[in-house]
């Protein structure tokens, strides 16, 4: 009677586990070093400079609204209406059919946010004393202004931070101010959270994959550690236990011998 040969089971040998573990550990180890260095750099940077905060200008008294302004009823159909100041000028901000526009509250004329106007807004909003080196219009936000939407003006200043201020080309709102310290922080933030495209979130597939890779590395490390032990490496532990057992057995034998002698 012939025996039916059983199909051999695929089994990864410990030496192959070690090779895989070694290379995965090298790759993840480099990322762990990057996490450590980038985290230390972010902790050491001046957060006021990272946030683009500058020395506040002296508080000036706000002048009252002019008594003669264009009546709200003459502005036509609007869905939202607000009155605010743009460079100390009273301005109506109107929203209709999803479009936002600005009107001079005194003359009723449309207010267009040009480059020079945006530069003046940036100087006033972020308290810049340095001269403007250039002004450029962006139809969509770049990485420095990625939290905002719509066309905007980028105003560059000749200061120690090489600051760039962003002003909305539609509403005239001062959006954000960036400098070299923030750019350094943003770069190491990208390395830290491994978001090399948007630099905005750490909930993305790459970092999740690395997290599971680190977990796998831990499990395989324990497995290889267990497989690397030999019984003889525990002889000192087993030997000590055996000696203690023998030493404990000697008094017991002596007592039994004494009982035997007394019985006689």
Domain map of the chain by residue range? Answer: 14-46+203-226, 72-188
Whole-number Å distance between alpha carbons of 166 and 148: 10
pLDDT of the residue at 234: 64
Backbone phi and psi for residue 171, each to the nearest 5 degrees, phi listed first: -95, -15
Note if the pTM is more than 0.95.
no
pLDDT of the residue at 74: 82
What SS3 state is found at 200? coil
> Within 10 Å of residue 185's Cβ, how many Cβ atoms?
21
Render pLDDT for 81-93 as a digit per residue (tens, 0 to 9): 999 999 989 999 9
The pLDDT-based confidence of 246 (bands split at 50, 70, 90) is low
Whole-number Å distance between alpha carbons of 102 and 125: 18
**Mean pLDDT lowest among 162-171, 177-186, 223-232, 244-253:** 244-253
Q: Which DSSP string do the residues of 81-114 spell out, in sequence order?
A: EEEEEETTEEEEEEEETTEEEEEETTT--B----
pLDDT of 193 over the 60 cut: yes
């Amino acid at each position: 009677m012939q025996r039916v040969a059983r199909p051999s089971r695929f089994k990864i040998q410990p030496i192959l586990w070690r090779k895989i573990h070694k290379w995965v550990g090298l790759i993840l180890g480099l990322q762990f070093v990057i996490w450590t260095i980038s985290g230390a750099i972010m902790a050491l940077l001046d957060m006021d400079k990272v946030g683009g905060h500058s020395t506040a200008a002296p508080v000036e008294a706000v002048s009252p609204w002019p008594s003669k302004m264009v009546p709200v009823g003459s502005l036509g159909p609007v869905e939202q209406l607000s009155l605010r100041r743009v460079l100390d000028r009273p301005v109506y901000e109107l929203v209709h059919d999803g479009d936002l526009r600005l009107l001079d509250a005194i003359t009723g004329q449309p207010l267009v946010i040009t480059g020079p106007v945006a530069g003046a807004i940036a100087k006033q909003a972020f308290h810049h004393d340095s001269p403007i080196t250039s002004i450029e219009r962006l139809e969509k936000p770049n990485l420095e202004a990625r939290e905002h939407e719509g066309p905007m003006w980028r105003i560059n200043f000749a200061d120690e931070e090489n600051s760039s201020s962003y002003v909305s080309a539609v509403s005239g709102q001062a959006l954000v101010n960036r400098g070299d310290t923030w750019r350094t922080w943003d770069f190491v933030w990208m390395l830290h959270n491994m978001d090399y495209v948007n630099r905005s979130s750490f909930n993305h597939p790459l970092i999740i994959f690395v997290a599971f890779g680190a977990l796998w590395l831990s499990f395989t490390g324990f497995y290889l550690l267990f497989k690397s032990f030999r019984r003889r490496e525990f002889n000192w532990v087993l030997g000590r236990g055996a000696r203690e057992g023998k030493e404990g057995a000697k008094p017991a034998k002596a007592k039994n011998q004494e009982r035997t002698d007394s019985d006689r």
